[in-house]
Structure 1
Amino acid sequence: MRVSVFLEQKSYKISEWEDAPPLVRSLMERAVITVQPGHNRNHAVIQLHYGQSGSIRFLVRDLHQERSPLLQPMEESVIKDYDQEGFDYWDRIPPFGVVELYKIELTYGTQVSTEELEWMFRLSTNFLIEQFMMFVFAERTAANVAPYMKLALSYNARQFTYQGECYYRDKSF
């Protein structure tokens, strides 16, 4: 989905997960998602509040609508030769709905466990994946939350370089 279309939605929520462990169910029940437009219709501020556990705030931009040069190295990171190691048939850069997380902020209370933080990120990245076709972020952007982002995407991330900087994107849409 394009950011401009995402901003038009009337409400936002994390998808239900029937067999969720108690901790995850508790986080899901407390989750409140607020969305605000950014400086134009291709930018948004997405904040997921998990009650006293904390919140995660993402500033996103629509790469296709912004005609970002970041799309070229993303395309080049797709392994197209099925004989090459790492080939994944489903790994493609979609024609729309690709967003960059250009700022990630985490706030949390002193009583929050590492496990809670990990699940907050898993739920948050799952929300982003459900809303957009793909997301990408610079390693430096996620430096303060790197362990959580890497864990949340450990099974589904592809690394690439743009202007000498390391980026990550989720692999399939």
Structure 2
Amino acid sequence: MATEIRTSAVDAGALVAVAAGACVAVALGVFGKVHDPQFFSVNLAGFSSGTSVKAWTATIALALAVIQFGTAFAMYGLLGGRAPAWMSTAHRWCGRLAVLASVPVAVHCLYALGFQATDTRVLFHSLFGCLFYGAFVTKMLLLTRRGLPSWVLPIFGGLVFFGLVFVWLTSSLWFFQTSGISF
């Protein structure tokens, strides 16, 4: 009986985390859709445009996420052998810095451009941006839960990574291909 109660509490907590992440994803999409795009948001000295800032900060976020992905593989023993003790700290900090680097990207997307569906690339970019932050919120909430099956965090970590990769592919890669690799 105690096992059933404990399992249902873990399941309920996990469902709350998933629901919160889904609410964040939908809220971002709704805000982006109803907000009138301002066509300008973030710019830094040395960059030619806000879109250039967005492309480069997204690239920094992706590079940090790739490192985090590699450290996750090492921590789960998928690269052979045991991971060094510092690996979990590196994993956490790369994740924190990746999300921090993604914030100006999200601000630019939501405030300057909004949620759009002008073509397939833009629609998928908008959807993957919402997925990224929804999966991120879910993962962060799941980190506080004890007793989860061992596959849960890697699945949501993978969704966060997948979302960021496809946000980058549908925006930064496109920008670099059309505008060149410049600041």
Decide: shared fold, TM above 0.5: no
Q: TM range, normalised to the smaller chain?
A: under 0.3
Which has the bigger relative contact order, CA under 8 A and spacing at least 6? 2
**Bigger radius of gyration, 1 or 2?**
2
Which structure: greater strand fraction?
Answer: 1
TM-score w.r.t. length of structure 2: 0.27
TM-score w.r.t. length of structure 1: 0.28
